[in-house]
A = this chain, B = another copy of it.
Amino acid sequence: MIERLVRKLNARDAITPEEEDALRGLISTTETIPAKKVLVARREKLRHSVILLDGLMCRYRDLHNGRRQITALHLPGDFPDLHGYTLHYLDQDVMALTRSEVAFVPHDRLDRLMDQFPRLTRLLWFLTNLDAAIHREWEVSLGQRSGPAKAAHLFCELHTRFSVLGLAEDTAFPLPMSQTELGECLGLTFVHTNRILRTLRERGLADFRNRTVVIRDMAGLKALAEFDPAYLYLNRHAG
């Protein structure tokens, strides 16, 4: 059930069996969410948070001109709205990009966890801070990187994050979203996103097709993106 979450946490800090049990005990129920469904609406009062068990989710914001910015992508093991525990409502919508499995975590169980497991509490706090670190790196991409570098950087990030979960191959990972949605992550229109994907393909760097990203030249892709994974906090023994 929570294997992905444990795997994600273990990549950062050792989890004891007791803590793993405590995490398991957080879950009340699970549910299957159809693609395109908004799971948590902006401003909605929250009494539970959600662990993504399987599938792909995002957080986003719509603007009046019809454009949308996706501000976060969530992989299995992520806690897309854990911040809702302290914020009480979300500032953005959470949507399933694909059919997804989620587990509900009532906030009163988090209250109890905070009393009994300070170390685990700090780990959950860490998870929300990791989330924020990814937001910051996206700010850098959105503000400063060139179109191709934006796409390259996102591919590098996702390859790393999927690898941690054991869900990526050496040079490929699933990315079940449309070019429109990819563009909404990168701050680009789908037309321009399509052109950028073509340049990455023509330069022999990466290929996004059939909902899968194939990396042809990892070093070149990382160089174009100036990818530095420090913000993913994977250095369990260095940090």
Contacts and interface: CB of A to CB of B under 8 A. Distances in A.
Interface in A114-154: 114-115, 118, 121-123, 125-126, 128-133, 135-140, 142-145
A122 to B, nearest CB: 6
Contacts of A61: 136, 140
A164 to B, nearest CB: 16
A64 B144 contact: no
A194 B153 CA distance: 29
A190 interface: no
Given A122-B114, A125-B125, A239 B89 contact: yes
A187 interface: yes
A161 interface: no
Contact of A142 (B87, B187, B230): B187
A16 to B, nearest CB: 18
Interface residues of A, number: 51
Contact of A92 (B115, B136, B145, B233): B136
Nearest to A131: B132
Contacts of A68: 144
Contacts of A85: 125
B136 A230 contact: no
Contacts of A145: 63
A226 interface: yes
Given A136-B92, A226-B63, A125 B128 contact: yes
Q: Shortest 7 CB-CB distances between A and B: which pairs?
A: A143-B187, A132-B132, A142-B142, A135-B135, A91-B231, A86-B126, A83-B129
